[in-house]
Amino acid sequence: MLLSSFAPRTLQKTSNNFSKTRLHSHTCAIIGGGPSGYYAAISLAERLTLEGKKGEITIYEGTGKTLQKVRISGGGRCNLLPDTSKPVRPNILSSYPRGSRELTGPMSLIPPSSILTWFNTHGVDTKVESDGRTFPISDSSETVINSLTSAASSHPSITIQLKTPVISLKPISPHGYTLSTKTSQKTYDTIILATGSSRFGYTLLSSLNHTIIPPLPSLFTMNCHEVKTGDLKDLAGSSLSNVEVTFGVGKKKLKTNGPMLITHTGLSGPAILKMSAYAARELWEMKYISVLKINFVHDLDVESLLGDYKLKNRKRKIRSATPDCLGVSKISKRLWNALLDSIDVKDKLWSEISNKEFNKLITQLTQFEINTVSKNTNKDEFVTAGGLDLKEVNFKNMESKLHKGLFIVGECLDVDAVTGGFNFLNCWVTGKIAGEGVGGYFREIDYVDDEEEG
């Protein structure tokens, strides 16, 4: 479904004078030249074109380049979306530790598949990889950037101001905003704030009496005692195909699963990154000193399988190989021996393993304790938790509940997700809805102006 195919917002008022709406040029400033800002600009331009209206849409970018986050995403490949064939509920929305409830409505209005269709029809052929991430077939973020910049340049109403940071916003009566840069001031009917997780955007919102949930890191790898100096110190580079990670604070327990990588200093991989997102605030409050429990074989009845293996291999040395009932893809020989070392099992035969030692081994396989000591930043996919309090935004049009004509999108919001294209999906969807919302707001102020003139 194309961007221009969504119906405009229905006004609450009706009047015989509505058909007299003036065709003067409306103005919208978009602060931030990232994915949500670009998509909002294109959406608004298409809406104005569809309605035969004039408009002036200006994107203000403080740096010398736009779409920088798109450029570096996925190591330069740009993971622009998750697998959009999956259901929004529960599959897609469950990937948002913060914001899943609020995004339910927007993703019903703007299905993720419609975003994929837009990119496909604007020069981006895509593929879905085995882990559910969507990439351009070109494996180049420039393909996505060219799609967005070409779409924007096709609309004369869109202009871009580079190296032009905005320093203040002031509402004016009866509607509109004065936008100030270092060198000029200009008045706009509407503002779309698309500044990502930058402090600058939060400062602008705070100046307008909005509430900011304190930002803190999400999506990071963990430094761990067991890897640096403990039981796993010789396992750097080991990859585990599917583990379950549990983190508990009081009565609260969080669980994630997926691949995990043992690094030189700790743990990484999707299972750890997901946990760092879901437990971002709790880990921050604990200064990243915590205990994680790893179940290496969570999808197996390991006690039964290993018990049968023990009976059938009584004369075999326990260290000779990973038991085939567990699978080398789950437990490598190096990891197997490390787990045996952790419970001080010598090179015994299986028949010599006591019940106490067997139970300890089961515990290490299913509840291996990892003591985290600090965090690392996953630079390719760095995401911040925190941002504008979601209670202060109307998700039907992304408009501020405190200031008419102010729209907030993307990572300005207290919305974040795990890796896999979900954060970009938030940018595309909220940008699209804001563009539509601004179009609706233009109709409202036209209506009010007409009433005042009448």
**Residues 128 and 14 placed together within one structural domain of the fold:** yes
**Residues 53 and 186 placed together within one structural domain of the fold:** yes
What pLDDT is recorded for position 228? 87
| Entry field: residues in the chain | 454
Query: Is pLDDT larger for residue 450 or for residue 258?
Result: 258
The number of distinct structural domains making up the chain is 2
What pTM value is reported for the model? 0.86
pLDDT tens per residue, range 162-181: 999 999 999 999 899 999 99
Share of the chain above pLDDT 90, in %: 83
Residue at which a domain ends, from 344, 377, 410: 377
Q: What is the mean pLDDT of the chain?
A: 91
Is the C-alpha dihedral spanning 27, 31, 36, 39 positive or negative?
Answer: positive
Residue at which a domain ends, from 325, 357, 377: 377
**Residues 161 and 267 placed together within one structural domain of the fold:** no
Range of the domain at 321: 221-377
What pLDDT is recorded for position 403? 98
Q: What are phi and psi of 217, to 5 degrees?
A: -65, 145
Q: What is the mean predicted confidence (pLDDT) over 278-300? A: 95
Q: What is the mean predicted confidence (pLDDT) over 206-215? A: 97
- CA 57/CA 49 separation, integer angstroms: 12
Q: What is the mean predicted confidence (pLDDT) over 91-99? A: 97
What's the pLDDT band for 451 if we cut at 50, 70, 90? low
pLDDT at 283 over 90: yes
What pLDDT is recorded for position 450? 54
What pLDDT is recorded for position 445? 87
pLDDT at 234 over 70: yes
pLDDT at 203 over 60: yes
**Residues 143 and 285 placed together within one structural domain of the fold:** no
User: ∠50-41-207 over CA atoms, to 5°?
Assistant: 130
**Residues 7 and 29 placed together within one structural domain of the fold:** yes
Domain CATH code at residue 195: 3.50.50.60
Share of the chain above pLDDT 70, in %: 92
Report the 10 Å Cβ neighbour count for 338.
Answer: 22
What pLDDT is recorded for position 378? 54
What's the pLDDT band for 452 if we cut at 50, 70, 90? low
Q: What is the mean predicted confidence (pLDDT) over 38-59? A: 96
pLDDT at 8 over 60: no
pLDDT at 260 over 70: yes
**Residues 211 and 193 placed together within one structural domain of the fold:** yes
What pLDDT is recorded for position 379? 55
Residue at which a domain ends, from 331, 352, 377: 377
**Residues 55 and 194 placed together within one structural domain of the fold:** yes
